[in-house]
Amino acid sequence: MLFMQSTVRQTNSVHDPKWATGISRLIKAHMAASGITYADLSNNLKKLGTSQSPENLRVKINRGNFGAQLFVQLLIVMGKSEINLKELENIVSNIDL
């Protein structure tokens, strides 16, 4: 009996770069709409006990690569009590990489 391996490459959606880009765009859109700078985020995160320099936040947000705790804390310090996941899904679905 001959077995053939699938040649279809499966992607791991957890590490799909589209999601990182989408999260980055979502955070930046909320920052722009609220007039919040990276320095503002850094200062407000300190009030929650999280130490992140403005430069470190800029790098992480631009990459869209950070943990769930920081993601939630960023939303909190931007004054977001809700997030529209459909909005994030739409952002991600419109990204061409």
User: What average pLDDT score do residues 18-39 get?
Assistant: 95
Note the pTM of the prediction, 2 decimals: 0.79
In a domain, 20, yes or no: no
Residue 88, in any domain of the structure: yes
- Residue 11 is assigned to a structural domain of this protein: no
Residue 4 lies in a domain: no
Give the range of the structural domain holding residue 62, as residue numbers without chain letter.
Answer: 35-97
38-42, 62-66, 83-87 — most confident range? 38-42
In the numeric block, which tokens belong to residue 48? 């929650």
- Is the pLDDT at 76 greater than 90? The verdict is yes
Domain annotation covers residue 14 = no
**pLDDT of 97:** 75
Number of domains in the chain: 1
